[in-house]
């Protein structure tokens, strides 16, 4: 059997009937031979074949040749293709030639074409001819065109006729218009009818309506129902919705699930959500991935997210790149960020520029943290009047560090009544170092019971001074030598020479000379002269007692030697007090780390997607070639 190559062009004597040419053109279209199709359709159209004229217009429209499209649509309409009038109206609408659009839409609208009626209503609304707009939208609505009901609802909303708007949106919603259902939910939410709002949003969320998913997520998030919020955000986030991705990431961020947070922030980031770069910077900063944090902060800073600028400056500050950090902080200050003023003051403090430090701190001296820092500077400068002034301001705001520092200053000034007053306030707030200071003062006032109670807490926190002082109090006040030895032994293990000496003394008091010798030997090896003296005294005591015994036996010249020996009087009650020490004496250094801004000023009530206000117009400006042969 011979192979036959099929080619339409090689078939001879095809009739020139326009219907046949139209059919042949349709086949060319399917084969992608558009130029050949246009040629055949043109021949058929010249022969007044209406289908060919309409299809030819659509082809020209798809090719972007509006002039030829317009020409053939008009001929198609004259040939009886009513839909051509609608298409002409849509073309003129897209060109904003509303007068011509009205002319063509009315031709078909008067014949009951619902979409043309709807589009006329929209045009008249744009032209502010509300009477004609309502007329045509109502007519299309009576034909149960859901888009017209939606548009009519928008018109009523514009006219502040809420009840009629609700009625239109309800009817449109029943006919399956999701935009109408969304606006209905928005009105319910606006009126505080959250039950009906949530019900409508949930119906839309099942259909993947992203704005509904977002608003529903916000409603649950604002109610702190984060797990429900995550469900609805995730529905839209999985489609790449930027806002839902950001909110979902935000919740994971707050829940410290940083891997999930980063995943969804990055989806929003890829959609150019600049806040995501700022939030990613915060996470990488927390994770100590500082290079990545700086990259994201810089991107956000370049887009004027000033919180990111502050945080970028903070990283540079911590890296001691002060000259790079300073202009960034100054930019933040120009935007009114008070935290950046304090941070810049901290920076100047680190580089010992005291004048600049004070200058910037005084710009925000109403901040409690700054009042403490100013107090600290003036305390170091021994300007106690100004130190007290700023510490008192901070103390009025119940700042614990300020209360404590006031106690220290008044103690240094020997104003013990005021010192005690402030230390007591700090002790009420469980400030450990204030307990140590207050215990010391009360010990010196011989108020041993109160002093013991104060020392017990820091002693149990392993504060050597407090442990040593408890040893003294149990020894001299309570005569509880077992407890005294217990606490002395705690500090002996730390190499406290005073505790070692006191243990030796306590052993002598208890006639435990061998124990005393052990402790004094230990102290002597550590270079303590008192321990060495007491050790020598012990040895002398032993020699004295030995000669005394030999003298009684008249051995050799023992009596003569014994009589020449001076009697040694040992002071068993002498005690040594250990140097004063507090817990973490350098804790003030933590004051000067930069403050990072982890949040922007956002109110969740302002984040909701808005109600839709644009009307729906069904213009066929995009043409599917496959549809013309149906």
End-to-end, the C-alpha distance of the chain in Å comes to 36
What CATH architecture is 483-581? Alpha Horseshoe (1.25)
State the pTM of this model.
Answer: 0.79
pLDDT (0 to 100) of residue 4: 40
Tokens coding 53: 């004229």
> Is 138 in contact with 152 (CB distance < 8 Å)?
yes
pLDDT at 518: 96
Segments of the chain with pLDDT less than 50: 1-13, 619-630
d(CA 87, CA 93) in angstroms, rounded, equals: 10
Looking at residue 548, what is its pLDDT? Answer: 87
pLDDT of residue 589: 54
Q: CA-CA distance, 46 to 30, in Å (whole number)?
A: 22
* Under 8 Å between Cβ of 391 and 372: yes
pLDDT of residue 472: 98
**602 DSSP assignment:** -
CA–CA distance, 541 with 308 (Å, rounded to integer): 76
pLDDT value at position 587? Answer: 52
Cα Rg for the chain, rounded, in angstroms? 46
Summarised one tens digit per residue, pLDDT across range 375-393 is: 999 999 999 999 999 999 9
**What residues contact 292, with CB distance under 8 A and at least 6 apart?**
280, 284
Tokens found for residue 556: 């050799």
Under a CB-based contact definition with an 8 Å cutoff, are residues 620 and 90 in contact? yes
Q: How many Å apart are CA 100 and CA 90, to the nearest integer?
A: 10
Using alpha carbons, list the distances in angstroms from residue 378 to 191, 206, 398.
57, 65, 20
d(CA 446, CA 438): 12
Please state the separation of Cα 234 from the chain's center in Å: 19
């Amino acid at each position: 059997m011979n192979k036959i190559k099929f080619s339409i062009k090689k078939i001879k004597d095809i009739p020139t009937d326009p219907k046949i040419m139209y059919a042949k053109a349709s086949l060319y279209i399917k084969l992608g031979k558009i130029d050949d199709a246009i040629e055949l359709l043109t021949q058929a159209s010249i022969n007044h074949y209406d289908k060919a004229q309409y299809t030819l217009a659509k082809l020209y429209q798809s090719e972007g040749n509006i002039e030829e499209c317009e020409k053939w649509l008009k001929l198609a309409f004259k040939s009886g293709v009513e839909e051509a009038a609608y298409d002409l109206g849509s073309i003129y609408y897209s060109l904003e030639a509303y007068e011509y659009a009205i002319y063509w839409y009315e031709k078909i609208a008067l014949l009951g074409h619902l979409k043309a009626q709807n589009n006329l209503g929209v045009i008249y609304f744009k032209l502010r001819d509300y009477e004609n707009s309502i007329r045509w939208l109502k007519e299309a609505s009576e034909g149960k065109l859901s888009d017209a009901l939606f548009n009519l609802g928008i018109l009523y909303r514009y006219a502040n006729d809420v009840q009629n708007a609700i009625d239109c949106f309800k009817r449109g919603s029943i006919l399956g218009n999701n935009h109408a259902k969304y606006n209905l939910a928005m009105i319910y939410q606006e009126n505080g009818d959250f039950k009906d709002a949530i019900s409508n949003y949930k119906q839309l969320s099942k259909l993947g309506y992203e704005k509904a998913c977002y608003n529903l997520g916000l409603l649950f998030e604002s109610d702190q129902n984060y797990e429900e919020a995550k469900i609805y955000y995730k529905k839209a986030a999985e489609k790449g919705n930027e806002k839902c991705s950001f909110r979902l990431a935000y919740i994971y961020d707050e829940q410290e699930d940083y891997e999930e947070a980063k995943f969804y922030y990055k989806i929003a980031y890829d959609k150019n959500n600049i806040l995501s770069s700022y939030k990613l910077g915060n996470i990488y900063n927390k994770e100590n991935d500082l290079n990545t944090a700086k990259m994201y902060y810089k991107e956000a800073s370049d887009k004027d997210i000033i919180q990111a600028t502050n945080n970028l400056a903070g990283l540079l500050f911590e890296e001691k790149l002060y000259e790079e950090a300073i202009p960034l902080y100054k930019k933040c200050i120009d935007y009114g960020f008070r935290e950046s003023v304090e941070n810049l003051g901290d920076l100047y403090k680190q580089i010992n520029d005291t004048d600049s430090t004070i200058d910037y701190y005084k710009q925000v001296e109403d901040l409690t943290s700054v009042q403490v820092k100013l107090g600290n500077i003036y305390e170091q400068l021994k300007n106690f009047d100004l130190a007290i002034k700023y510490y008192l301001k901070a103390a009025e705001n119940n700042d614990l560090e300020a209360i404590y520092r006031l106690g220290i200053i008044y103690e240094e000034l020997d104003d013990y009544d005021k010192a005690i007053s402030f230390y007591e306030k700090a002790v009420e707030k469980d400030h450990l170092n204030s307990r140590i200071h207050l215990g010391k003062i009360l010990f010196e006032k011989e108020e041993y019971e109160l002093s013991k109670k104060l020392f017990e807490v820091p002693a149990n926190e392993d504060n050597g001074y407090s442990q040593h002082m408890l040893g003294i109090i149990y020894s001299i006040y309570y005569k509880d030598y077992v407890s005294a030895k217990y606490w002395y032994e705690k500090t002996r293990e730390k190499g406290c020479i005073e505790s070692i000496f006191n243990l030796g003394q306590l052993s002598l008091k208890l006639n435990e000379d061998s124990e005393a010798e052990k402790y004094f030997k230990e102290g002597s090896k550590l270079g303590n002269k008192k321990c060495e003296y007491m050790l020598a005294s012990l040895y002398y005591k032993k020699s004295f007692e030995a000669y005394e015994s030999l003298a009684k036996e008249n051995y050799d010249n023992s009596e003569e030697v014994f009589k020449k020996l001076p009697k040694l009087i040992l002071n068993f009650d002498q005690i040594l007090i250990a140097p004063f020490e507090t817990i973490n004496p350098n804790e003030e250094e933590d004051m000067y780390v930069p403050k990072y801004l982890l949040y922007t000023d956002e109110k969740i009530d302002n984040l909701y997607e808005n109600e839709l206000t644009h009307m729906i117009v069904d213009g066929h400006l995009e043409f599917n070639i496959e549809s013309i042969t149906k």
